[in-house]
Chain A
Amino acid sequence: TPARADEALVVAGPSDPQLGSLFAFRAGNYPWIWGVFEPLIKIDEKGKVQPNVASRWTLSSNKLTMTLFLKRGITFHNGKKLTAEDVKYSIEQAALATNGSQLGFIARSFASVDAVTDGKLVINFGAPTSNIFDLLSIMPIMPKNSYPETKLGKTVIGSGPFTWESWTPGAQVVIKKYPKYRDAARINLSQITVRIITNASAQLTALKSGAIDLAFGLSTVDAYALRNDANYKLIYAGGAIVPLGLDTSKAPFNNIKVRQAVGYAIDKNRINKQVFSDTGLETSLFWAPRESGYPKALQDAYTYNPTKAKALIAEAGAAGAEFDLQTLNLPANAALVEIVANNLRDIGLKPNVRVLDVTAWDAKQVAGDIANAFIPYHGQYGLNAATLLNSLATLRVEKGTTKFATAEYVKLRNAVAAAATSGAKEKALNNLSKFMVEQAFAMPIVMAPSMFVHSKKLTGVEFGELGHTFWNSAKLG
């Protein structure tokens, strides 16, 4: 069916597009990026890799070479053909530190990338790279040498179903249907306007008053409250890992007993209920349950057990220990830290809570030194374990915020990254997870899904694992 003229959609985005960070995870880009750009592959809800720009791929038996075959007939919005050279360029951009991609380390680990023909690309890994699809699924393909121009926001050229029409900073981004899209006939929406509404309650009122059809930045509570409303549909997609990190280099958390006590002290269930409206996953692991080799048995290693926690504290002689507990100024974290602090006080510790503004927090996180205890927010739920181990400052070895870098830990991490078979992976992950649970330097509290609410008028929206949105089959009415 041809698209009707009135199929213009208005959605609310939480912040301006960040064109300088197209290769990173940025909420401001989620609503529109897969309208304008396309990734090589997609990962569906079940974690299965689906072809997209890449129609198929092969992996050499030593797992060190990957060959990608591109779909034919894809053109960029400027009319040029999409070739392997463009893909190579995009990978190079992802690798650049200045482009800030959390997964840049994967691209940087490649030994070489060769555009063999227009439609064929060969990547030589330095070492087996099991998390390659994480990178490929979040990496937009752009014409060779176009990124500097793209960053200026005037001409943004991709190959997606929509073209970049205009951006009024602070106000809105408009993308229009690309008539020459290879699948143009199946695209229903004629235009998507992303209105930038930073205030969460303003998004809610906008949604309720019918000014927008989809809200990307609702608070969990607001979104969850709409779950039973006949006019709206609640979508869970992607999400965040909200762990409690402990600085193992300083008292009191240089004592493993104290760390474990903390693990038992936290009332994950109440946190999940009161902060995440019971939509989160209470877990002791960083990995998503769909991860291959997921050590399900360890998921509930730490459950709420204040008695045990107190006993451990007493054993460690740490009762009354005073320390800083910091987090960053996001609504969920600000509420969560209160419960955590309350829990810790209950077992006789004395946390001093500080909530930092986001940039100040980032400065500390990058420097790898936050506080004795801290609660970060990692919006990377669902990525590969091997990816997370490097992309999360909490788990990193180098400049890791927990300052936990024992030889044992390094060894177990490397084993996960190097695991070539699923059996090996399961074993390595199990060993690592066991070790992490025991050492208790970084303890996930809740895996919180991102929640998006759209009006029932809107159908067919497809959400990627991190909350990126695919509009190809979206429809209004």
Chain B
Amino acid sequence: MTLLEVSDLTTVFHLPTGDIRAVNRVSFTLQKGEVMGIVGESGSGKSVTARSLMRMVRHPGEIVSGKVLLNGVDLLTLPENEMRTIRGRQIAMVFQDPQATLNPVHTIGAQISEALIVHGASKDDARKRALELLAQVGIPNPESSYERYPHELSGGMRQRVVIAIALANKAELLIADEPTTALDVTIQAQILQLLLQLRDSLGISIIMITHDMGVIAEICDKTLVMYGGRVVESGKVSEIFNKPLHPYTAALLSTVPRISSDRSEELVAIPGSPPDPANLPKGCTFSPRCSFAESACMNSVPNLIQISESGYSACFVREKELNIDFRPSVSRKKKREKQIGSDSILSVSDVFVDVGSKRKGLFGSKSPAVNAVAGLSLEIKPGETLGLVGESGCGKSTLSRAIVGINRFTAGKCVIAGRDVTQMSGDNRQWVSSNVQYVFQDPFASLNPRRTIAQSIGEALTVAGVAASDVEKRAAALMERVGLDPKYLDRFPYAFSGGQRQRIGIARALAANPKILILDEPVSALDVSIQAQIINLLQELRDDLGLAFLFIAHDLSVVRHLSDRVAVMYLGKIVEIGSADDIYDNPKHPYTKALLASSPEPEVNQKKDMSPALQGSIPSPAQPPSGCRFRSRCPIGPLHVANRSICETQEPGFESINDAHMAACHFLLESKK
């Protein structure tokens, strides 16, 4: 039965500089109980579509045309006060950032109850129902949790509360706008599973917005692919993933690395970058980046045409050649063999980093040590790439910042290129900066907006000791090295896209001719189509220049693609380390296994078991659990298996599985799934 029918929905933002057509003639239908994905890159109009359905487009946006029929009623023509009764009762919404979507000054219970009270429930009834909902979304101790404030809950728990609010009035349609993007994979798995459970038990329909093909593959029945404000393809997930009907979908699918994919080849990158919605290309919005584009594509816009029973595509090429396979067939460059040295160029042993703020509080108490890194050792050899993975907050950034001297090691030893640089002073600082450089996560924040690219890179060259007369030449060379035109040197950062800025960040890091690059999530802020470009660039640089990488990332598949060895970190400690193949194919530590199990893969043919591998979230480094730090969440730990008190009392040491593969667990041999 059709629940929602959207046709020709168009939303425009009226800006002083001109109108932006953020959503352009979007049409789709949604059946009861169906989970539909909307996937697309940043700025493709996903969120605006969702908000348009709710009639909650922000100023200066306006829905200029279209129909949104919910159970046959056109929502766009309802008066605002009637629309208000529909919001929260028939359509509910879950937003991206659980940190910001809950009101910090009201208890979560009050916020859930409010959703009921505004739709006519009495206070008592609202409270009862709220407690029910808290239990339903899996929040422990509903009674006491009811009185808690959002900041007292972890991100995952907060997102559950938001979902509880959405479910409060038994809405038929739940719109979830990237509900897991801000969460760790382990938590994402929990939330996705919860949504599916709810769909099954309540029979609600879900619109799932995401930019992650893996998520679509995991939970959706059908999906829309959006590009530049338009739907370019829609259809059943199983069909789209096997035989995409639009070149963009195809490119998107092949650009993401997979844990299981062939790592000997470079990634397929989509050239160029996503379109600027304020300045869309004239014809098909994808045509400038499309390898199949013909002249027709440049001049007029293709309509979304039904191709199969459920498949639609907006592509002139597909219209002509019915059987065309859009998957890239170009042979990719093979990765080169590279040299890995034998002495370590970076080694840290048993280091601690205290991030406990030393600021005095209102009553002058000194805060105790918070060891975000607590007794960690690892080493990197010249030319080697060590991947570092772990949930958010486990101390990855803290470790890398301590290596370059932004944080201080409070204990342990750090040796870089044969020199002990644990104490950062004068000469050591110099030594470190000439050997180790850093590439940051956020390309928008890592460049000074007030300085031209030439100034930023020139400054780096100058401290590296390049003579003033050579600076300009070297800067130009660096720009070319990272694939940018040297004539852009005089521009300011705002003139560049995210991917280009990240290239500039890399160029600046290379200015000092370092031997090691620390890459702190260098691609997680980028669109998937750009990610591949940067990963390929990094790979090329590494192999050409013989760099060693400390590569930090959330995305396990990206890490596998790039790394020689991988270290898995949990709450300030390494729990498992080994060659990439060992870790991914033969994980030993229960945490590693859980991480791998939680990572969604853009594969529809072999759907994974969706039961989340890990419960709860990472504890605070201020109060780490005694003994094994992982025990409070460990599926084979004392909480799940009897007689494992050793985990509470004793810290596990490393046990070698093979030469390079080690893990720290009291029960390594246990092979539970």
Direct contact between A and B in the complex (CB less than 8 angstroms)?
A: no
Contacts from B to A (Cβ < 8 Å): none
Contacts from A to B (Cβ < 8 Å): none
